């Protein structure tokens, strides 16, 4: 009888062990199906695409906004330096720029459009009666990314008279070694092909950034 009891208990234990192993095996083998994996990858790809697109758009807007602000600051620097009669300055390459000899008449600072995406700040002195002015480049500003200066801009240069900072035109009188005064407000239009901002220079020499 004890033998029969041992056999019965062994059989029950074996069945219980097999059932437990089967359940454990099922749990271990439980995972994602191919369809579920494809869905997850599809959603992740979509979200990633949206994120990259948003970042690119944001980056372009930032480049545009910063380029317009930098151009305005360069023009204001020309006005400020002319108003303060800064006759000696260090350019972006570390060279000292001044009128040589010092007796030459200081003509002020100006900002010109050097190319479709570049502004330059220049320092000017007279160069003797009957000669064009002596000009030295102080700083170059290259607009970021796809930002450009629109061809419809009306400013030829943002030029300022020393001490008064009155805006000057680009007509240089060789007989008097001087420029005439600006008679009509002008502007620089900054664009990236989608957005535009206008830097307006009024007859008082004030530069402002318009939407």
**Tens-of-pLDDT digits for all 211 residues of the chain?**
444 434 444 444 445 555 554 544 555 455 667 776 777 777 777 766 676 666 777 899 999 999 999 999 999 999 999 999 999 999 999 999 999 998 899 999 999 999 999 999 999 999 988 899 999 999 999 999 999 999 999 999 999 999 999 999 988 998 888 899 999 999 999 999 999 999 999 999 999 999 8
CB neighbour list of residue 140: distance below 8 Å, 6 or more residues apart: 92, 114, 118, 119, 120, 121
* Per-residue pLDDT at 18: 59
Q: Is 205 helix (H, G, I), strand (E, B) or coil?
A: coil
* Per-residue pLDDT at 52: 67
Element (H, E) at 201: strand 196-201
Q: Is 101 helix (H, G, I), strand (E, B) or coil?
A: coil
Burial group, residue 160, by CB count within 10 angstroms (0-12, 13-18, 19+) = buried
How many residues belong to the chain? 211
CA atoms within 13 A on the CB side of 27: 6
Q: Is 183 helix (H, G, I), strand (E, B) or coil?
A: coil
* Per-residue pLDDT at 155: 96
């Amino acid at each position: 009888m004890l033998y029969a009891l041992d056999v019965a208990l062994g059989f029950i234990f074996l069945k219980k062990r097999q059932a437990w192993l089967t359940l454990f095996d099922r749990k271990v083998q439980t995972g994602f199906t191919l369809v579920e994996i494809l869905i997850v990858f599809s959603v992740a790809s979509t979200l990633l695409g949206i994120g990259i697109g948003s970042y690119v758009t944001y980056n372009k807007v930032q480049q545009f906004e910063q380029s317009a602000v930098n151009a305005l600051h360069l023009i204001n620097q020309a006005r400020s330096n002319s108003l303060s009669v800064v006759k000696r300055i260090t350019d972006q390459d570390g060279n000292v720029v001044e009128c040589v000899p010092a007796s030459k008449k200081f003509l002020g600072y100006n900002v010109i459009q050097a190319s479709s995406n570049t502004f330059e700040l220049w320092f000017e002195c007279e160069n003797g009666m009957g000669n064009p002015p002596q000009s030295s480049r102080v700083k170059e500003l290259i607009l970021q990314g796809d930002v450009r200066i629109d061809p419809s801009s009306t400013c030829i240069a943002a030029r300022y008279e020393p001490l008064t900072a009155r805006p000057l035109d680009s007509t240089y009188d060789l007989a008097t070694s001087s420029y005439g005064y600006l008679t009509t407000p002008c502007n620089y239009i900054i664009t990236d092909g989608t957005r535009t901002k206008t830097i307006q220079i009024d007859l008082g020499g004030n530069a402002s950034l318009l939407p």
